[in-house]
Structure 1
Amino acid sequence: MKTIQAKEVETRYNDLNVVDVREAEEVAEGKIPGATHIPLGVLEYRMNELDKNTPYVMVCRSGGRSSQATRFLQDQGYDVTNMEGGMMSYNGDTEK
């Protein structure tokens, strides 16, 4: 599984396709600007919204759920990378 450090996402989020797999109440506290919100529990049903030719960075609170999402989407043929440490490690800009 490919990984990326939160520090790198902080400086490159404008150039990345971020997918936040946290629950709605977590995302309401702030998400990476421009991130697409698809909760992990519905990812299987909404993965068709993602393009298999586009690389994505998966994000959650601490990195656990996003690593599950990364493995799942990777098995489906998507180009995905897990952000290590999740939003707990992210100190960059956020939006509500």
Structure 2
Amino acid sequence: MKTAEQMVAEARARIEEWDVARLRATPDAVVVDIRDVRERAKGHIPGSIHAPRGMLEFWWDPQSPYHREVFAGDGPFVLHCAMGWRSALAAATLKEMGFEVAHLDGGMEAWIEAGGPVETPAPKG
């Protein structure tokens, strides 16, 4: 049996990892937030696209009835989650499907720690 930590380590060995500095220096990067809606509601990277982890492969696959055209673009695409574990696994899965993606090492926590801007949704009402 493998632990989640082992699976993340194996995924990280197979994928491209970006740090916050590289992401901030690449204005054409398409940032894809794979966190769930409750996490994203607390704040997100401005301009990021929300693609919940549970739908990611279906939204990315052009043969899927759930395909989203935004993922047919050139990228570069950089996935992120809260700490970089889920995004590493997701990036490895998309790579196995034949897509070129990277993930943000350290996720949203690294982004905030490095002083990256955070956008919060306007209150409903």
Q: TM-score range by the shorter chain?
A: 0.7 to 0.9
Residue of structure 2 in register with 1:78 after alignment: 99
- The runs of at least 4 consecutive aligned structure 1 residues that moved more than 4 Å come to none
**What is the Cα deviation at residue 45 of structure 1?**
2.1
Q: Deviations over 1:14-72 (max 9, x none)?
A: 32101000000111111111111011111122113211643200000000110111011
Residue of structure 1 in register with 2:27 after alignment: 14
Aligned length in residues: 95
- Structure 1: gaps spanning 5 or more residues: none
Residue of structure 1 in register with 2:3 after alignment: none
For 1:3, give the aligned amino acid. E
Residue of structure 2 in register with 1:95 after alignment: 119
- Structure 2: gaps spanning 5 or more residues: 1-14, 61-66, 121-125
Equivalents in 2 of 1:33, 1:22: separation in Å? 14
TM-score by length of 2: 0.69
- RMSD over aligned Cα atoms: 1.6
For 1:94, give the aligned amino acid. V
Residue of structure 2 in register with 1:66 after alignment: 87
Matched-pair contact (CA < 8 Å) for 2:31–2:47: yes
Residue 40 in 1 paired to residue 53 in 2? Answer: yes
Matched-pair contact (CA < 8 Å) for 2:35–2:52: yes
TM-score by length of 1: 0.88
Residue of structure 2 in register with 1:2 after alignment: 16
The structure number with the bigger radius of gyration is: 2
Equivalents in 2 of 1:73, 1:45: separation in Å? 10
Greater relative contact order (CA < 8 Å, ≥ 6 in sequence): 1
SS of the residue corresponding to residue 87 of structure 2 reads helix
